[in-house]
Homo-oligomer: A and B are copies of this chain.
Amino acid sequence: MTPIETNQALLDGLREIVGDDGVLTTMGDRLVYECDGYVLEKQTPDIVVLPSTRAQVVGVVNRCREAGVPFMPRGAGTSLAGGTVAVGGGVMIALTRMNQILEIDLRNQFAVVEPGVVNIWLTQRLKGTGFHYAPDPSSQGACTIGGNVATNSGGPHTLKYGVTVNHVLGVEMVLPDGNVVTFGGPHADPVGYDLTGLAVGNEGTFGICTKAWVRLSRDAQAVRTMLGIFETVDDASHAISDIIAAGIVPAALEMMDHLMLQAVEEAYQFGFPLDAGAVLIMEADGLEAGIDEVAARIEEIARANNARDVRRARDESERLLLWKCRKKAFGAIGRLSPSYCCQDGVVPRSKIPEMLRFMSDISAKYDIRIANVFHAGDGNMHPILLFDERDAEQTQRVVDASHEILSECIRLGGSVTGEHGIGVEKIAFMDRLFTDDDLLAMRWTRAVFNPDNICNPAKLLPSGGHCAEVSLPATRRAT
């Protein structure tokens, strides 16, 4: 069989649809797409296509299907679980040219965006209107809303405002058979099955998302942001439990540990105390009425849990700097290490101290430094394992350490991903989280949309193992 990258009929067909400059074939061009934020698995796609319209996506999908070549979507490539790696090769459909905000309707509180719109652009566009787009992953300056929809992204404010699925009203998708379907829409009330909710988090295994209707949220009237400084992560963890137990729903509760603090302080000079065991960013928002009482109560609880100090952000610029330190923490890691692997495990909130102690043991056992910065209010932990990917032996230790950490999350009653998705990284865990029947139901669910598994194969669901691969008959739409 002709190798895909030299399949002239396919290349000609694709160029006819998206133009010469929309098809990347040289190794230099394609190398950019060999991996995403997860650097432990790499594979250069055979062809990269950059469509600008839905019609072009339909054309590209049809050509790939006709040629029997797998394809997969890609946004900004910020996945931390290898969700956009072209496992086994194929045609990568990069959606960065579909980057228009198509409509903003403030009266009905929704926007319509193309998948390649960068998350932060929408909130920037809304500046001054009193509205914003709530999901705010730390990578929001780079990641796309299409990618957020694919992985059901969270962020620091998930604790109060929910994950992406809570803010997506509708999705338009090009299915692998070339048909375009629309689930939900601007005024979506759930009639029929909630296919919008199902599509959010599909990790590109159903088809190519070409449009999304998203909910706009009203800006909070008042915000109070505080930094709590603790001697130990245990104290910080107990403060979190007590804040939640007091019936307060903070807008955010984020923890950074000692090692993370070093890196962030060096990068951004916020003035973090370098001898602290952990800091908490604690934010309350809501109506002006009563907000100071809530902030005071949070402060009181932090102090009751041995906080050395609790500082309120003096003004908006100090608040923004504090959030910059948190959101760009991953960037600061570059000062500590050439590579990192950011894990994404979840444990019940009450198990955070135990999990942090476990990570400390794992760090010693594998001789791998681990920094922690995470959504403590949700129990969603992000241990960052520092290493050098040029060192194969060290890299293997990172993989092993990651697996032990994720296994411990399961043992403690949690899960192996809170918001980054399964991607390629965590497929091996699916058998441990689900029964064969549960996985079969998921495979059949995929087959509804992607019966031949030609769209983003090898993602999310294990392909073999206990259950054989399932493929619907090609006649499924014959009626």
Contact = CB atoms under 8 A, between A and B. Distances in A.
B441 A348 contact: no
Interface string A455-479: 0000011000001111011001101
Interface residues of A, number: 74
Contact of A181 (B107, B441, B448): B441
A360 interface: no
Contact of A448 (B107, B221, B293, B448): B448
Interface in A407-443: 413-418, 422, 430, 433-435, 437-438, 440-442
Contacts of A108: 348, 350
Nearest to A289: B293
A294 interface: yes
A197 interface: yes
A195 B441 contact: yes
Contacts of A417: 189, 191
A422 B193 CA distance: 10
Contacts of A182: 435, 438
A188 B378 CA distance: 12
A28 interface: no
A291 B247 CA distance: 14
Interface in A254-299: 286-287, 289-291, 293-294, 297
B414 A190 contact: no
User: How many copies of this chain sit in the oligomeric assembly?
Assistant: 2
A71 interface: no
A341 interface: no
A129 to B, nearest CB: 13
A121 interface: no
Contacts of A446: 193
Interface stretch (A95-103, A198-206, A310-318): A198-206
Contacts of A221: 247
A412 to B, nearest CB: 9
Contacts of A198: 193-195, 197-198, 445
| Residue from A152, A195, A287, A479 whose CB has the most chain B CB atoms within 10 Å | A287
Given A290-B293, A448-B445, A460 B192 contact: yes
| Residue from A434, A461, A467 whose CB has the most chain B CB atoms within 10 Å | A434
A165 interface: yes
Contacts of A189: 346, 380, 414-415, 417-418
Given A189-B417, A415-B187, A479-B470, A181 B294 contact: no
A298 to B, nearest CB: 11
| Residue from A194, A297, A417 whose CB has the most chain B CB atoms within 10 Å | A194
Contacts of A374: none
Main secondary structure of the interface of A (DSSP, over half): loop
A294 B294 CA distance: 15
Interface string A224-265: 000000000000000000000001100000000000000000
A6 interface: no
Contacts of A442: 192-193, 195
Nearest to A415: B189
B287 A247 contact: yes
Contacts of A187: 346, 348, 413-415
A191 B380 CA distance: 13
Interface in A183-223: 183, 186-195, 197-198, 200-202, 218, 221
Interface string A7-38: 00000000000000000000000000000000
Contacts of A396: none
27 contacts: A107-B350, A108-B348, A165-B190, A181-B437, A181-B441, A182-B438, A188-B415, A189-B414, A192-B422, A192-B430, A192-B433, A193-B201, A193-B202, A193-B445, A193-B460, A194-B197, A194-B200, A195-B438, A195-B442, A248-B287, A287-B294, A289-B290, A289-B294, A445-B445, A467-B479, A469-B479, A470-B476
Given A248-B287, A287-B294, 11 more contacts: A152-B190, A163-B190, A187-B346, A187-B414, A189-B415, A191-B417, A191-B422, A193-B202, A193-B460, A286-B286, A473-B473
| 6 cross-chain pairs, A with B, having the tightest CB-CB distances, nearest first | A290-B290, A289-B293, A289-B290, A468-B479, A444-B448, A197-B197
